[in-house]
Chain A
């Protein structure tokens, strides 16, 4: 073995600093790699470059104000973050949400899942050298963002899901827009698959790369597509249904090879399942009906009522100046985000601000398995492994 003489003596390994400014780390992640030639002996992730103290800020906001902070954690899944936070507060308050609002929530988070997987697929492909897939994926993602803009006026930081329901009545023409997208998308997914699934370079870069056993994945608390690629059908939508998911028919795709290719196949299959759920949600959403639950003092009254009813005006004033006070207690709600189990823990002491709001971010916990995935692999495989964990650094560091 060739050795290199350094200041500290003869050594055969070197330490490579990958990131925090490296295009394939998808943000500001730093990984210290100890290398023997091109083989990784040890990998130590270093994070916190994007720590913004969102959990601390939540403690200083009223329950409704904190919704806008949740958008900014996982910026590829803002609606999912809104949903988990609102579900937690609603559980704390014991609120029932109208079915129509629940179905609209389901439709939007499923579209969000597709858009998140599209960003993942595009950036993962570009990391591994497939440039054109990136452009195609972003083309379709643009369509989804247009739908979100229609609904909420915002492309990304929507804050559309609110405590007690949703912010606004769906806009005129939303059905046609979503229908158009749902009709177009299946053939587009086929298009990505025709570029990648049978591609020899793609298979060479992903098959057998980044293996983790099912036992290790569970022990390391991994969730989401990474766990399902290891053969464990753990999906919160099936296991612990929320927002009426028990009324939807869909499959939880699993594979057993647990490598980067399996995770790719899982996410592609999930996009098709999401289209399926979105179609069912479309059929379930009625043309008329309440979008917010009737809870005076918690859910802001309709604008028309405020102009005509004194009580509504008082409630509106109180909600936006003082907020509302849920009973003391603690709740933990989990949903299935595109990256895995997204949880929200809220402890209330009976005041209008949360005593503690904690987010169980799947990216953070899945990233913990990175050293296990890359040890013994080549340095170019580290890029593939970081890609298939699908991290969003805004959520890792919060």
Chain B
């Protein structure tokens, strides 16, 4: 897999990570879309199913964000993970919706919870949180309890005293 892509474009893979039998290809974000198209279309790869896309925040390390795309080839029974690293100051990456339409809601979820912007996404809105929500809850610098006071808790305290 890595050799195939290297033969196609020698500079496309920054790093190959092998862990517990899973292969991860680290790509630069400029080439992500082209690699994704090749993975889907080439007869030797045929990764036709984008099963999952998610993000990891490694705050305070830089580059802090890691986007992970999990691909499955149904005909070849194979799996691969594509990874793109993003700095905290420049969180823009090309959308994969034209390659796999199923990326639509996956990317919206990442946008909603991490604040990564997907360039060219047809409908980049919050999906799980209300539209007026402030901040991106799954970032590591967002407290687990959230920023906002819950009114019910203060009311409860008053009445119980």
Contact = CB atoms under 8 A, between A and B. Distances in A.
Given A48-B128, A239-B77, A343 B52 contact: yes
Contact of A232 (B56, B74, B109): B74
Size class of the B contact interface (CB-based, 8 Å): 35 or more
B109 to A, nearest CB: 8
B68 A91 contact: no
A397 interface: yes
A379 B98 CA distance: 29
A397 B55 CA distance: 17
A332 B129 contact: no
Interface residues of A, number: 42
B74 A234 contact: yes
B51 A223 contact: yes
Interface string A34-50: 00000000000001100
A88 to B, nearest CB: 10
A146 B148 CA distance: 42
A234 B49 CA distance: 11
A368 B70 contact: no
B57 A343 contact: no
B88 interface: no
A369 B96 CA distance: 17
A367 B127 CA distance: 13
B144 interface: yes
B82 to A, nearest CB: 12
Given A223-B51, A356-B56, A330 B105 contact: no
Interface string B69-103: 01000100101010000000000000000001111
B6 interface: no
A347 B56 contact: yes
B134 interface: no
A57 B70 contact: no
A221 B50 contact: yes
Nearest to A50: B128
A329 interface: yes
A189 B90 CA distance: 56
B122 to A, nearest CB: 12
Nearest to B139: A56
A364 interface: yes
B157 interface: no
B51 A221 contact: yes
Interface of B: 19-20, 22, 24, 48-52, 54-58, 66, 68, 70, 74, 77, 79, 81, 100-106, 109, 113, 126-130, 137-138, 140, 142, 144
List the 5 shortest-distance A-B pairs measured between CB atoms, nearest first. Answer: A221-B102, A360-B52, A48-B128, A358-B54, A329-B19
